[in-house]
Amino acid sequence: MPKAGIIYNNVKPIASRIAMELQDQFTCAGWDVITTTSMGGILGYSSPESPVCHTPIDGLTPPGFDSEMRFAVVLGGDGTVLAASRQVAPTGIPLLTVNTGHMGFLTETYVSQLPRAIEQVMAGDFDLEEQAMLTVKVFRGQSVLWEALCLNEMVLHREPLTSMCHFEIAVGQHAPVDIAADGIIVSTPTGSTAYSLSAGGPVITPGVPVLQLVPICPHSLASRALVFPDTETVNIYPVNIPRLVMVVDGNGGCYIFPEDRVYLERSRYSVRFIRLQPPEFFRILREKLGWGLPHIAKPTSVELP
């Protein structure tokens, strides 16, 4: 019996309703179906009084989501996709992402197109696109205080955000650099169209094997976005007193103290997205962000005097 999964945002009534309808549809078609909410992939926050909030990366996978599952349907917005990616990336389960939110930059299809999309996926008529993820860990000495998979970006800043921070950052075996800024962002190509883009970083097409480091409002004309191979690791040593705040994918993180070290590397896991048509990144940029659209009327013909 083939097996499919459903991951849905139970905060949204429409996602919950469609999840139940899909479960009935799969069951009637002779499929074994397992449902879960995306809450299991939401990252927790530690507190200054209790800085250790350590859930191992492999510990987020829901029961029943294993290598025998042919695919999973994700119902929600971009936040739900980010959470679901952390839940299933260690298993390699392909994800069909369905937008029930607003922007839906990471989603493949819409609720109105879901019946046809499900038929296509059940028939195996789709492509797969793999997107890189980051492993983010916080060390104090040799102990791991916190870790997570990251699809978009890691952000490190002070409370409040408009306060100057100082960082010592070592990329690979290169000499450490000092950066003074409101914060820093380390992002994947997927995350290059998220916070990193708003902070002035470049857009990077999926599949390019790089990471990028973007200072937020740097206090120097010389501090600009840096793009480097994703084979390089990143170590960040904060020097602020008393602490900084780290946020991963916009929904969880922990406090970072001067004695801590933030370590990032490309994860051995990647997320596999189902594509119902050949991936066309520029089309997505145009539809979601308006990239490449003309801002002035262009003449269709030229009249000669």
**Can you tell me which residue has the tokens 């740097």?**
218
The HSE-up count of residue 296 (CA atoms within 13 Å, CB side) is 2
79 is in an annotated binding site: yes
153 is in an annotated binding site: yes
Separation of alpha carbons 147 and 194, rounded Å: 21
C-beta separation of 59 from 40 below 8 A: no
Q: Is 78 among the residues known to form the active site?
A: yes
Chain region(s) in the chain for CATH 2.60.200.30: 133-267
pLDDT over 80 at 232, yes or no: yes
78 is in an annotated binding site: yes
Average pLDDT for 66-81: 95
Task: Read off the pLDDT of residues 138-196 as tens digits, 9 standing for 90 and up.
Answer: 999 998 888 899 999 999 998 776 678 889 999 999 999 999 999 999 999 999 999 99
pLDDT, residue 302, reads 55
CATH number of 3-131+270-289: 3.40.50.10330
pLDDT, residue 45, reads 66
Residue of higher predicted confidence among 211 and 145? 211
We find that the CATH architecture of domain 133-267 is: Sandwich (2.60)
Separation of alpha carbons 143 and 207, rounded Å: 33
251 is in an annotated binding site: yes
Give Cβ neighbours of residue 229 (< 8 Å, ≥ 6 apart). 209, 210, 211
pLDDT, residue 304, reads 56
Task: Read off the pLDDT of residues 11-27 as tens digits, 9 standing for 90 and up.
Answer: 999 999 999 999 999 99
pLDDT over 80 at 52, yes or no: no
Residue 48's pLDDT band (boundaries 50, 70, 90)? low
198 is in an annotated binding site: yes
Residue of higher predicted confidence among 254 and 62? 62
36 is in an annotated binding site: no
pLDDT, residue 58, reads 86
Average pLDDT for 119-133: 94
Radius of gyration of the chain (CA): 21
pLDDT, residue 46, reads 62
Average pLDDT for 267-287: 90
pLDDT over 60 at 295, yes or no: yes
For helices 13-28 and 114-122, give the axis angle rounded to 10 degrees.
40
Q: Quick one: what percent of the chain has pLDDT higher than 70?
A: 92
Separation of alpha carbons 42 and 179, rounded Å: 30
Separation of alpha carbons 98 and 78, rounded Å: 10
Residue 6's pLDDT band (boundaries 50, 70, 90)? very high
**Is 292 buried (19+), middle (13-18) or exposed (0-12) by CB count in 10 A?**
exposed
Separation of alpha carbons 97 and 85, rounded Å: 10
pLDDT over 80 at 36, yes or no: yes
Residue 45 DSSP class: B
Separation of alpha carbons 235 and 77, rounded Å: 31
User: 3-state DSSP call for residue 38?
Assistant: helix
The Cβ of residue 226 has, within 10 Å, a number of other Cβ atoms equal to 16
pLDDT, residue 198, reads 93
10 is in an annotated binding site: no
Separation of alpha carbons 144 and 9, rounded Å: 30
Average pLDDT for 263-276: 97
Chain region(s) in the chain for CATH 3.40.50.10330: 3-131+270-289
pLDDT over 80 at 103, yes or no: no
C-beta separation of 120 from 96 below 8 A: no
Say which of 24, 78, 249, 260 is annotated catalytic. Answer: 78
Q: Concatenate the DSSP letters of all residues of 97-133 into one string.
A: EEE-SS--TT--EEGGGHHHHHHHHHTT--EEEEEEE
129 is in an annotated binding site: no
Average pLDDT for 206-233: 93
Q: Which residues of 21-34 are buried (b: 16+ CB within 10 A; e: fewer)?
A: ebbebbeeeeeebb
Q: Rounded to the nearest 5°, which phi and psi values hold at 266?
A: -65, 130
The chain-wide mean pLDDT, for the chain, equals: 89
DSSP 3-state percent helix, strand, coil across the chain (nearest 5): 20, 35, 40
Residue 222's pLDDT band (boundaries 50, 70, 90)? confident
pLDDT, residue 145, reads 85
Residue 186's nearest CA partner among 219, 159, 150, 217 is: 150
